[in-house]
Chains A and B, each alone.
Chain A
Amino acid sequence: MTTTQTARRDGDLAAEGLSVGYRGRAGLTQVLADVSVQLHSGRILGLAGESGSGKSTLALSLLGYRVSGQEILAGRVAFDGRDLDRASVKELRKVWGARLAYLPQDTATSLNPALTIRRHFVEGLRRHRGLDNAAALDRSAQWLARVEIPEPETALHKYPHQFSGGQQQRIALALALSVEPEVLILDEPTTGLDVVTQAHVNRLIVTLARDAGIAALYVSHNLALLATVCDELAIMYAGQIVEQGVASQVYAAPRHPYTAALIGAVPTIASDRPLHGIPGIPRPSVPVHACGFADRCRFRTDACDTDIPLVALAEDRAARCIRLAELPAFDPGAEHAPATVADRAAVPARNLDAILTVDNVGVVFARPGSGEPFVAVDDVSVRVPAGRALGIAGESGSGKSTLLRSIAGLVRPSSGSISYRGATLAGTAGERPVALRRAIQIVFQNPDATLNPRHTVYQSLERPLKLFRPDIARRERRDAVAEMMRQVRLAPDLLDRYPRNLSGGQRQRVAIGRALLAEPEVLLCDEVTSALDVSVQASILELLVGLQAERDLTVVFVTHDLGVLRAVADEAIILQNGAIREAGPTTRLLREPSHPYTKELIAAVPDPDRAAEFLGGGS
């Protein structure tokens, strides 16, 4: 799309038909194909994509930054009349920091731990703006104040680790903006922060960037966030831009099947819309003479096997789909059939017996190093009715995982008790009778570690049968395992593979299968989808909700994501600092929160329909 609404001015940064590849041992892998974007002063372009879509490569390429092995195959990056992709390092270093600023992904590591905040600021201000020490310090303190760092003068003499994650991110933002650049590239700047902190940082980014008239690119996997804070939105898949346009329009009425499917996979707290995963996993490289999304697309035909151009639909709207003319604009809200969540919420909880009871449980740890005690779980009591799903939500450090692990017998509670069907559970799994260990199974968060890397899928799945299912004869185990593979929607030929040959989503399915092979009554899920791409997350959640209904399982689901909470949990508790802040049916709790902390959490969730509220809200 080469249409421009405004005449090109100084400071506008643009990629034109950019194609980039990496040369490695396996030859050349193309990661960007024919990408054109243009940044405009005072506006924010959102770039959304799942892992491997090429969005971070694009962010760095726009700066003219070359990773070793990276090659520009076609196109150019134009800035102020010159080609950044061909500029010498010497030229680039005059532009970097001075006119083009960059905020990298990882908060904790974007500031140098060995340097004071002052040295970070002064270095750039002296070099790029020729300020003397005093003037530089003055300007630094002003910017720290603007990003709401308390006592800016003292803050300058501190080291990065003396600030919280959110503060570090705001300092990095002030550092980037203090030199008054024309362009700001943000690469997932708030990943790793808690929702409330994320919301705060995002508000600051948007306000300050707009005030300064900066042209910004905001890269993220969080589509809802981008639709809330950006002016324009570009959706990337397999190294190509598949759709582009005004943010609110793209989100409300997507034209590309991938955009529509992606929106359908994003968990939301605002509506009862059910989640729908996209089959398969995101494609990591650029397709050759084909549509990159074809293998996961519901609308695929033979016509898709060709080079597909980005077609302009309107002056400021374009999409890359061969069937654009035939397919109507999607309505993500009404795309699919009815909600499971709403149905289950209709059953009143008090009529059901509690299968699991947590009574006044507290967990106290000794801090490593100092040995100071700190309370991870603080006097928590909760009843889990049989056959229902309880969600436990909270920010990192809220004690939600510790609580779950104490139910699983991995962390011994310091006080209180946990009982299962009226029988008190011993503190650790090893002390529990085999029947109780079988009845309560746990699935973990990290797909990279949930399976033993040295055991095949079959070995992992066979183990619970050996321990818990004497009723299944040795020679029948393979059949039982194969049947479970079918239930978690995995191909049986994966059985002899090692976890390294499986995708993250596949590993989580195996982990769920491993838990279910014990025929548990209660399934504990610890952030089982938080490390997965949105489209894969939705598939796993769909699977879990389906299996729960099918097997009449009781599920306890820990998550930091209120949208996920809404999608899976009938009842929910909100934890903060180890203590319950609020409890109740999920839908009511999210619609009419009563505790201020719950309200704060909900307000921090980006919602494109209430963008103004999100950006103006909070304090």
Chain B
Amino acid sequence: MTSISTSTSGLGAAATAPQPNGVAPIAVDIRSVSKEFGHGAAHTVALRDATLQIREQEFVCLVGASGCGKTTLLNLIAGLDKPSSGVIETGDRRVALMFQEANLFPWLTLDQNVELALKLRGIDKPKRRARVAELLELLRLDGRGKKRPHELSGGMRQRGALARVLAQDAEIVLMDEPFGALDAMTRDSMHDELERIRREVEMTVVFVTHNVREAVRLSDRTILMESGPGRVKSEHLIDLPRPRHMEDPQVAERAGALTDELKDEVRRHVR
């Protein structure tokens, strides 16, 4: 990837938005991407003319109400779907995706689930064993390896899913509301885990959530999206000091400001 797009088309904020890691190469380059589904009466524009650059090591949150195209955008970056128009470039970086439901394979134990990710990358058996043990320890899941997914709590399943994502050794990790189904306490602890792991493992994260406060808690930059059709509304650099917590007044304040901006949008959606 050579050029860094500063195009102002489709997204006024893109050109002027402050960029952290200003010198880091762009990991995900999204240029004028649209996605349409269906034909005739069923035709919908899920995403219109989205332009966005995400730099290496950056943690970007995509926030918006249902139907704003955030999951669509994530699937496009993941390569699970193709854009109707526009370009998404991730170079030769490996991309991993974590879902709201852990989606661990129910016929495999936790060990085997993590190991499969390594196996599919062609890593030999002795190395796999060692790496699985390492990852489970990193995710504080040691001793749970022989359990099957249904024998684990929701929080442990998501940590297992995160271990599987890390086993893919991806440069870009996409997360689709990964903590959306967890209770508040477990979610808070997952935020801490994620932050801790990010200090140990280098990765670019694109994190989708509908929770503005979660976005402010976690991200370097938060992208607000709006629906009907889905598009990028504005970008916000979150330069609050870390470690942050959901209850921090500063986090609440920033989240409040962003929520106000989304309010019309949310109201429209609720109606």
Do they bind each other?
A: no
